[in-house]
Homo-oligomer: A and B are copies of this chain.
Amino acid sequence: MNISSEIEQFILSVLGSGDEITLSRNELAQYFSVAPSQINYVLATRFTVARGFIVRSKRGGGGGITLVRIAGGEDPISSQLKELGEMHTLPENRARDMVDRLVEASAVTPRERAVILASVSSKALSGCKESGELRLNIYREILIALMRK
């Protein structure tokens, strides 16, 4: 087994059945005698949204990395996240359809709908090359934020 997988297993075992864990990149790297950036690699490849994790971090003194397990299930938000996984671009009207589905399912309020649509509107994104990709990124981050508990 390679080191990355060992680190993954270690983190998972420390996490246990909990749904949140805070760790130090440097300590972890030292514990496994690897470069600190290896931890980033493990996080980027093993603790992805697709696998049900959200990673938050803070730099500077007293900083750290927090992993949050997202409640897996068949809720409309995580299913849309999965849906996004296969796209490379998100046109404005497609975004509107998706948000409307969330409103329909009572996963977002009408006010939240207005905020989301404003933030992915072509008006807001005007001037930016490849706004379809950008819109996809933004919408994904919004879904992740909504899913956090």
Q: Which residues from chain A sit less than 8 Å from chain B, CB to CB?
A: 1-3, 5, 60-62, 110-112, 114-121, 123-128, 133-134, 137-138, 140-142, 144-146, 148-149
A117 with B137: CB separation less than 8 A = no
Query: How many whole Å from A44's CB to the nearest CB in chain B?
Result: 13
Query: How many whole Å from A68's CB to the nearest CB in chain B?
Result: 13
Q: A133: which B residues are within 8 A, CB to CB?
A: 127
CA distance A112 to B121 in the complex (A): 17
CA distance A120 to B60 in the complex (A): 22
Which residue in chain B gives the minimum CB-CB distance to A142? B118
Q: A142: which B residues are within 8 A, CB to CB?
A: 115, 118-119, 124
Q: Answer whether A119 and B141 are a contact pair too, CB < 8 Å, given A61-B2, A112-B112, A128-B128.
A: yes
